[in-house]
């Protein structure tokens, strides 16, 4: 079993829809959770950073962390074609290196 599980997709949704992306993990020591967006042939861009459990909102993006269920989510509201990318969840404990999910390929259909 991988430490971090993420559905690779691909996921296609119509423009304007709400997108839900999720990851589950097995290591209860993870405390820091991140979501990255990666366009083709580009480096990952940090979208959301959350420490421990709870919600965080930034514009159209909301990140949720449920440590009791070892489950994190990223919601994208009013999705746009420019949101089409691969979304990577990542997490770590303390000073350790990041552990990544495999990434979900998302396509927003105009």
Residues that bind other proteins (CB under 8 A): 32, 34, 36, 41-46, 49, 51, 88, 90, 92, 97-98, 100-103
Cα 33–Cα 100–Cα 77 angle in degrees, nearest 5: 55
Distance of closest approach, residue 71 Cβ to other proteins, in angstroms: 19
41: tokens are 């042939």
| Torsion angle of the four alpha carbons 25, 56, 78, 102, in this order, in degrees rounded to the nearest 10 | -20
Shortest distance, CB of residue 46 to other proteins, whole angstroms? 6
For other proteins, the closer of residues 60 and 92 by Cβ is: 92
| Closer residue to other proteins, CB minimum distance, 32 or 75 | 32
CB 9 within 8 A of CB 75: no
End-to-end CA distance of the chain: 37
CB of 73 to other proteins, least distance (A): 19
8 A C-beta contact, residue 35 and residue 63: yes
Q: Of 101 and 106, which CB lies nearer to other proteins in the complex structure? A: 101
Nearest distance in Å: CB 37, other proteins? 11
């Amino acid at each position: 079993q991988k430490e971090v599980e993420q559905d690779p997709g691909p996921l296609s949704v119509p423009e304007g829809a709400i997108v839900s992306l999720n990851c589950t993990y097995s290591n209860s020591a993870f405390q820091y959770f991140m979501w990255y967006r990666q366009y083709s042939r580009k480096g990952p861009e940090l979208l959301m950073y959350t420490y421990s459990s709870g919600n965080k909102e930034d514009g159209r993006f909301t990140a949720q962390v449920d440590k009791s269920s070892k489950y994190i989510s990223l919601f994208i509201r009013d999705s746009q074609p420019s949101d089409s990318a691969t979304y990577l969840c990542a997490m770590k404990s303390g000073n350790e290196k990041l552990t990544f999910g495999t990434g979900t390929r998302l396509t927003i259909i105009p």
